């Protein structure tokens, strides 16, 4: 560190190229921000982070201003505080006053800023925003009236996801965020990833709720209501109830789900194992029979829709496997229904997912058998937390319980699906066995772990040197695919997840998820993998039983009918 600056009369060291905000954050000094997003280029457009710099006439934005040697900064002078307060008052002047009814009551950054800046009276009055709700999407509800134009959603959609489904429209006081031609999210290129919800400071973006439908079915005596939960839920729900980030509360969650009234509780990690059986078999088949390569995973519905919109040429590369959510749904309404003697139409099948795009996937026409949906409703992690509270359950007082068997018993390969790289690692374990007839000496593939947007490895499986790549964030996927289109041929298998870091950072996870929480969730998944005895999907005895008793063999007739799907080209507006 070669620079010395002074902040509020304290001397601090700084490095060339750092912004004022970087130095303040590193030293535990907080200034409020709104439009700023860690890791993206700062614009300073909201001016919430202004500070006073000696010798400068105007206040400067800490997020975008580089530090200079000898700079003297005041972060909380009267002028600075008044300026921030006025910004908040202006934002509140046309903001709807329905905080008590708002989804984000209690987790709204505008509310928090008003409180922190001691805004206690309405000094500026304006006409309330009056825009129409956009409820057209299967996954996301947009309420432009609550939008404060921070632009975070626009940036995440364009710079992380490469989708650009929403943008700034109009000028000056008539500016708002909209989809192209005001057609609504359902007709836009939106892939339903929900990353915009995760960054929105207010209630302008939220998931399409499924809670009411589920409540109705729970109180219908003619319905058998079953629930499955994705691998990442047990390590992310914890934070909603004050446990430490990443704590695995699977036993408490099982108990809470039963107290709510679900008749059967299943773990989607089981069907993640099933996905691996089919997907690894498909990979081996493609590699040994000259099939289309690289094969690309299909368990992320955000990615699948992106490929249907922007990657018509690579649709043959996508694995034909349904996602674990849909495989579990199909097995519940066939094998489970048959073995329990329940008519499939009397089963109401709910899933709890870290993901808003799963609400879209569940409603796809392809995800039905004889007109009956594989899955009937999808809750995000946030909605599950709400449901637990609504049913008056104190999760802290629960005694841990196991999920129902056999669809609740997993290998740890199924569990690590929750993290970017987990699907690939699980698939390699089984592909190795299928190709060589032997287990891997060491199951872990460390090169595929971590939060980087792209990870690659070459793995020797028998005589084959298999090139694999893992990408998360669709912009990273687009870049890798461009390399493949341009002739890169050393990669045979690609895992794509729309959300950066994978499902542990999905668009349905708790609001306020930060990098530390994501790392903690990831660490827990790999810790489970470290400690569990059964580390490969093909070694899950209940998966073996499912094939013996019902499915036959991977890629067989019944598997193909129930567990595989196809894709459609979609035109983008």
Q: What span, in angstroms and rounded, lies between the C-alpha atoms of 541 and 563?
A: 19
- The burial of 465, by beta-carbon neighbours within 10 Å (0-12 exposed, 13-18 middle, 19 or more buried), is given as exposed
Active site residue 167: no
Stretch binding ligand SF4 (CB under 6 A), from 157-165, 312-320, 378-386, 548-556: 157-165
What's the closest the beta carbon of residue 190 comes to ligand SF4, in angstroms?
3
Stretch binding ligand SF4 (CB under 6 A), from 159-167, 247-255, 310-318, 427-435: 159-167
Could you say whether residue 163 binds ligand SF4 (CB under 6 A)?
Answer: yes
Q: What span, in angstroms and rounded, lies between the C-alpha atoms of 525 and 419?
A: 8
Could you say whether residue 199 binds ligand SF4 (CB under 6 A)?
Answer: yes
Stretch binding ligand SF4 (CB under 6 A), from 119-127, 144-152, 489-497, 560-568: 144-152
What's the closest the beta carbon of residue 403 comes to ligand SF4, in angstroms?
30
Q: Which of 32, 42, 194, 508 binds ligand SF4 (CB under 6 A)?
A: 194
Could you say whether residue 190 binds ligand SF4 (CB under 6 A)?
Answer: yes
Could you say whether residue 200 binds ligand SF4 (CB under 6 A)?
Answer: yes
Could you say whether residue 32 binds ligand SF4 (CB under 6 A)?
Answer: no
Q: What span, in angstroms and rounded, lies between the C-alpha atoms of 295 and 172?
A: 47
Stretch binding ligand SF4 (CB under 6 A), from 194-202, 284-292, 375-383, 552-560: 194-202
Q: What span, in angstroms and rounded, lies between the C-alpha atoms of 507 and 500?
A: 10
SS3 535: coil
Stretch binding ligand SF4 (CB under 6 A), from 151-159, 344-352, 374-382, 482-490: 151-159
Q: Tell me which of 213, 345, 366, 545 is the catalytic residue.
A: 366
Kindly state the helix (H) or strand (E) to which residue 484 belongs, with its residue range.
helix 474-485
Could you say whether residue 91 binds ligand SF4 (CB under 6 A)?
Answer: no
Q: What span, in angstroms and rounded, lies between the C-alpha atoms of 455 and 421?
A: 8
Could you say whether residue 196 binds ligand SF4 (CB under 6 A)?
Answer: yes
Active site residue 366: yes
Quickly tell me which residue has 């860690």 as its tokens.
38
What does DSSP say about strands 347-353 and 224-229: parallel, antiparallel, or unpaired?
Answer: parallel
Pick the closest to residue 493 from 476, 475, 480 (CA basis): 480
Pick the closest to residue 507 from 187, 163, 92 (CA basis): 163
Q: Which token pair is 2? A: 């070669």
Q: Which token pair is 402? A: 């196991």
What's the closest the beta carbon of residue 158 comes to ligand SF4, in angstroms?
8
Could you say whether residue 157 binds ligand SF4 (CB under 6 A)?
Answer: yes
Quickly tell me which residue has 């505080």 as its tokens.
81
What's the closest the beta carbon of residue 43 comes to ligand SF4, in angstroms?
12
Of the two residues 46 and 451, which places its CB atom closer to ligand SF4 in the complex? 46
What's the count of helices (H) and strands (E) in the chain, helices before strands?
20, 19
Could you say whether residue 150 binds ligand SF4 (CB under 6 A)?
Answer: yes
What's the closest the beta carbon of residue 242 comes to ligand SF4, in angstroms?
26
What's the closest the beta carbon of residue 392 comes to ligand SF4, in angstroms?
32
Q: Tell me which of 189, 319, 411, 419 is the catalytic residue.
A: 319
Q: Which of 161, 207, 279, 361 binds ligand SF4 (CB under 6 A)?
A: 161
Residues 201-260 that bind ligand SF4 (CB under 6 A): 201-202, 204-205
Q: Which of 75, 114, 192, 430 binds ligand SF4 (CB under 6 A)?
A: 192
CB proximity list for 418: less than 8 A, separation 6 or greater? 230, 231, 232, 235, 354, 502, 503, 504, 521, 525
Q: What span, in angstroms and rounded, lies between the C-alpha atoms of 266 and 261?
A: 14
Tell me if 76 sits within 8 A of 59, measured CB to CB: no
Q: What span, in angstroms and rounded, lies between the C-alpha atoms of 472 and 479?
A: 11
Could you say whether residue 473 binds ligand SF4 (CB under 6 A)?
Answer: no
> Cβ of 52: how many Cβ atoms within 10 Å?
18
Pick the closest to residue 121 from 85, 157, 146 (CA basis): 85
Of the two residues 137 and 537, which places its CB atom closer to ligand SF4 in the complex? 137
Of the two residues 33 and 559, which places its CB atom closer to ligand SF4 in the complex? 33
Could you say whether residue 140 binds ligand SF4 (CB under 6 A)?
Answer: yes
What does DSSP say about strands 140-142 and 493-497: parallel, antiparallel, or unpaired?
Answer: unpaired
What's the closest the beta carbon of residue 544 comes to ligand SF4, in angstroms?
38
SS3 7: strand
Which segments of 66-171 does DSSP mark as H helices, in order? 78-93, 109-116, 152-155
Q: Which of 152, 223, 449, 564 binds ligand SF4 (CB under 6 A)?
A: 152
Stretch binding ligand SF4 (CB under 6 A), from 161-169, 278-286, 407-415, 552-560: 161-169
Of the two residues 155 and 410, which places its CB atom closer to ligand SF4 in the complex? 155
Of how many residues is the chain composed?
573
Of the two residues 343 and 572, which places its CB atom closer to ligand SF4 in the complex? 572
Q: Which of 74, 90, 135, 149 binds ligand SF4 (CB under 6 A)?
A: 149
What's the closest the beta carbon of residue 249 comes to ligand SF4, in angstroms?
27
Residue 501 backbone phi and psi in degrees, to 5: 90, -10
SS3 227: strand
Could you say whether residue 153 binds ligand SF4 (CB under 6 A)?
Answer: yes
**Backbone region of residue 502 per phi and psi (left: phi > 0; alpha: psi in -120 to 50; beta: other values):** left
Q: Which token pair is 444? A: 């872990």
Quickly tell me which residue has 């709204």 as its tokens.
108
What's the closest the beta carbon of residue 182 comes to ligand SF4, in angstroms?
14
Of the two residues 198 and 274, which places its CB atom closer to ligand SF4 in the complex? 198
Of the two residues 18 and 116, which places its CB atom closer to ligand SF4 in the complex? 116
What's the closest the beta carbon of residue 131 comes to ligand SF4, in angstroms?
11
Instruction: Give residues in contact with ligand SF4 (CB under 6 A).
Output: 140, 147-153, 156-157, 161, 163, 165-166, 177, 190-196, 199-202, 204-205
Q: Would you please indicate which residues are annotated as catalytic (active-site) residues? A: 279, 282, 299, 319, 358, 361, 366, 503
């Amino acid at each position: 560190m070669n620079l010395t600056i002074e902040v509020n009369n304290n001397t601090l060291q700084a490095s060339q190229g750092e912004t004022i905000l970087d130095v303040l954050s590193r030293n535990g000094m907080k200034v409020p921000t709104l439009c700023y997003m860690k890791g993206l280029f700062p614009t300073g457009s909201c001016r919430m982070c202004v500070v006073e710099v000696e010798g400068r006439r105007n206040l400067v934005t800490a997020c975008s201003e580089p530090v200079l040697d000898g700079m003297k900064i005041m972060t909380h002078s009267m002028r600075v505080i008044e300026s921030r307060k006025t910004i908040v008052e202006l934002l509140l002047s046309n903001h709807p006053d329905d905080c008590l009814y708002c989804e984000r009551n209690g987790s709204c950054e505008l509310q928090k800023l008003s409180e922190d800046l001691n805004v206690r009276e309405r000094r500026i009055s304006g006409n309330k925003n009056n825009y129409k709700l956009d409820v057209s999407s299967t996954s996301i509800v947009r309420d432009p009236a609550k939008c404060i134009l921070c632009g975070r959603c626009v940036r995440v959609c364009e710079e992380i996801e490469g989708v650009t489904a929403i943008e700034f429209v109009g000028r000056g006081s008539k500016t708002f965020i909209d989809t192209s031609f005001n057609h609504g999210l359902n007709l836009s290129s939106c892939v339903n990833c929900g990353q915009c919800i995760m960054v929105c400071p207010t209630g302008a973006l939220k998931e399409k709720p499924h809670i009411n439908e589920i409540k109705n079915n729970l109180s219908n005596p003619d319905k058998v209501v079953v629930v499955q939960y994705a691998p990442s839920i047990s390590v992310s729900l914890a934070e909603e109830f004050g446990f430490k980030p990443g704590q695995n509360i699977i036993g408490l969650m099982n108990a809470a789900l039963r107290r709510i009234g679900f008749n059967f509780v299943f773990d989607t990690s089981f069907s993640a194992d099933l996905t691996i059986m089919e997907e690894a078999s498909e990979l081996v088949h493609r590699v040994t029979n000259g099939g289309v390569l690289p094969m690309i995973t299909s368990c992320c519905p955000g990615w699948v829709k992106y490929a249907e919109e922007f990657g018509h040429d690579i649709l043959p590369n996508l694995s034909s496997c349904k996602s674990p959510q849909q495989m579990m749904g199909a097995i519940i309404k066939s094998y489970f229904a048959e073995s329990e003697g329940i008519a499939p139409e009397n089963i109401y099948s709910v899933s709890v997912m870290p993901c808003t795009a799963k609400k879209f996937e569940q409603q796809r026409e392809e995800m039905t058998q004889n007109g009956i949906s594989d899955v009937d409703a999808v809750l995000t992690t946030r909605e599950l937390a709400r449901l637990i509270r609504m049913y008056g359950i104190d999760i802290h007082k629960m005694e841990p319980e196991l999920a129902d068997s056999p669809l609740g018993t997993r290998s740890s390969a199924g569990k690590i699906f929750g993290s970017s790289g987990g699907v690939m690692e699980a698939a390699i374990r089984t592909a190795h066995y299928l190709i060589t007839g032997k287990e891997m000496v060491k199951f872990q593939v460390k090169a595929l772990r971590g939060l980087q947007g792209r990870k690659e490895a070459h793995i020797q499986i028998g005589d084959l040197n298999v090139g694999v790549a893992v990408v998360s964030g669709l912009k990273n996927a687009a870049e890798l695919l461009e390399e493949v289109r341009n002739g890169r041929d050393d990669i045979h298998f690609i895992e794509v997840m729309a959300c950066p870091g994978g499902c542990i950072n999905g668009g349905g996870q708790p609001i306020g998820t930060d990098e530390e929480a994501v790392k903690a969730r990831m660490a827990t998944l790999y810790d489970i993998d470290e400690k569990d005895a059964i580390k490969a999907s093909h070694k899950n005895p209940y998966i073996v039983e499912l094939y013996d008793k019902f499915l036959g063999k991977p890629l067989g007739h019944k598997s193909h009918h129930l567990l595989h799907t196809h894709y459609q080209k979609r035109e983008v507006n």
